[in-house]
């Protein structure tokens, strides 16, 4: 089985920036076009079996860590009246898109009130360890999940990232401009460790050790040395993790404490048990729903409503994955 796991909000709202200008209907149409064509491409290229669209809920992390994503609300509050109107319009159309997927297709549509789409995608993978998974997203947070059976497809840049490297839309290796060689595959464990140490500005997660060097010096251990010592947890690990620092409010921090806090927030396999239980219930309920009939006809009507002419010309191709229920 090959599951196509779509980070739906990420893809939809990133796609709107592809179109320049003020015509909102054109931007919405392009967002839906990119969404459908990306899923269709992955379905064909990876011989997909079932598509899972994942949506956002209110994150449990906000109760664990008060600053979590607080910066995003501040950005929304700073929007102009015109920008707010555009945002509201997009969310309205996004809701209609979600309703179509839920009520008129046999794809799995996952949304849990306490979880982000990232959580649902990671949990689905954990519950299907023997299957192949392709994540459709432009979010680098998913790099930590890359493995022998997990790849990522970025529909905005038409790039596939695997544990062997980066590939363009034609399956050719992407060349690193600095080295002139094929771009090396990301190291999921290192990327996760580095983000837990440095924090994540986009999610307003503070660094566990501000200013820490990637590579150490004669007198100071860096991230690379601590990472290499993470299993034995010898001198380099403890030398870094037991350091203390003081923030601008005069509060003292111990690196290991802030690292563990960040790991709980960032590591997509570290959700609390009650969160995992809730996600499992959501997944079970979703995959057991009754099958929808006449999916192709529903899709034709949806394309007509949003003037998706090019997508509508390939109804049979898109109907294959829209009609493929969970087995």
pLDDT at residue number 14: 84
Q: Which of 302, 313, 303, 306 is nearest to 24 (CA)?
A: 306
**pLDDT at residue 287 in the model:** 95
Q: Which two tokens stand for residue 256?
A: 């290991």
Q: What is the pLDDT of residue 255?
A: 97
pLDDT along the chain (327 residues), means of 10: 96 80 83 92 96 96 93 83 88 95 97 97 97 96 97 93 95 93 95 97 95 93 97 96 95 97 96 97 96 95 91 91 95
pLDDT value of residue 207: 97
**Shortest CA distance to 70 belongs to which of 198, 181, 205?**
205
Instruction: Tally Cβ neighbours within 10 Å of residue 325.
Output: 15
How high is the pLDDT of residue 8? 95
Q: What is the pLDDT of residue 263?
A: 97
How crowded is the C-beta side of 103, counted as CA atoms within 13 Å? 7
In the chain the beta strands, taken as DSSP E runs, fall at 2-7, 50-54, 108-110, 132-136, 150-154, 159-162, 165-167, 244-246, 252-254
**Alpha-helical regions (H) of 202-254:** 223-228, 235-241
- pLDDT value for 82: 85
Instruction: Tokens for 310, please give them.
Output: 């090019």
Beta bridge partners of 273: none
Q: How far is CA 122 from CA 5, 7, 118, 141, 148, in A?
A: 9, 11, 6, 11, 15
- Biggest distance spanned by C-alpha atoms of the chain: 68
Edge-first strand order for the sheet with 132-136 is: 108-110, 50-54, 2-7, 132-136, 150-154, 159-162, 165-167
- Local structure of 57: helix, strand or coil: coil
Closest to 282 in 3D by CA, of 142, 117, 149, 129: 117
Q: Indicate the burial class of 187 (C-beta count within 10 angstroms; 0-12, 13-18, 19 or more).
A: middle
- Residue 69 CB partners (closer than 8 Å, separation 6+): 59, 61, 62, 203, 204
Partner residues linked to 244 by β-bridges: 254
By three-state DSSP, how is residue 193 classified?
Answer: helix
Q: Which 8-state DSSP code applies to residue 207?
A: P
What are the extents of the domains in the chain? 2-186+271-323, 188-266
Q: How is domain 2-186+271-323 classified at the CATH fold level?
A: Rossmann fold (3.40.50)
């Amino acid at each position: 089985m090959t599951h196509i796991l779509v980070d739906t909000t990420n893809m939809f709202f990133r796609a709107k920036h592809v179109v320049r200008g003020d015509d909102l209907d054109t931007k919405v149409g392009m967002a839906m076009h990119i969404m459908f064509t990306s899923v269709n491409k992955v379905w064909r290229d990876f011989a997909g079996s079932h598509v899972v669209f994942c949506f956002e809920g209110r994150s449990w992390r906000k109760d664990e860590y008060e600053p979590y994503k607080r910066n995003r609300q501040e950005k929304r509050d700073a929007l102009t009246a015109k920008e707010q109107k555009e945002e509201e319009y997009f969310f309205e159309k996004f809701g209609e898109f979600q309703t179509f997927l839920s009520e008129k297709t046999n794809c799995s549509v996952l949304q849990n009130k306490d979880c982000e789409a990232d959580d649902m995608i990671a949990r689905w993978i954990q519950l299907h360890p023997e299957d192949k998974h392709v994540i459709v997203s432009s979010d680098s947070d998913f790099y930590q999940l890359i493995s022998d059976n997990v790849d990522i497809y970025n529909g905005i840049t038409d790039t596939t990232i695997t544990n062997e490297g980066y590939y363009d839309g034609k399956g050719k290796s992407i060349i690193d401009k600095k080295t002139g060689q094929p771009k090396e595959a990301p190291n999921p464990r290192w990327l996760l460790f580095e983000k837990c140490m440095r924090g994540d500005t986009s999610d307003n997660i503070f660094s566990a050790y501000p200013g820490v060097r990637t590579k150490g010096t004669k007198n100071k251990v860096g991230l690379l040395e601590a990472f290499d010592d993470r299993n034995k947890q010898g001198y380099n690990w403890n030398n870094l993790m037991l350091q203390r620092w003081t923030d601008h409010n005069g509060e003292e921090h111990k690196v290991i404490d802030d690292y563990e806090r960040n790991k709980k927030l960032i590591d997509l396999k570290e959700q609390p048990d009650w969160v995992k239980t809730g996600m499992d219930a959501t997944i079970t309920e979703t995959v057991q729903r009754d099958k929808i009939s006449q999916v192709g006809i529903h899709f034709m009507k949806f394309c007509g409503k949003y003037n998706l002419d090019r997508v509508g010309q390939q109804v049979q191709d898109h109907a294959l994955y829209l009609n493929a229920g969970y087995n």
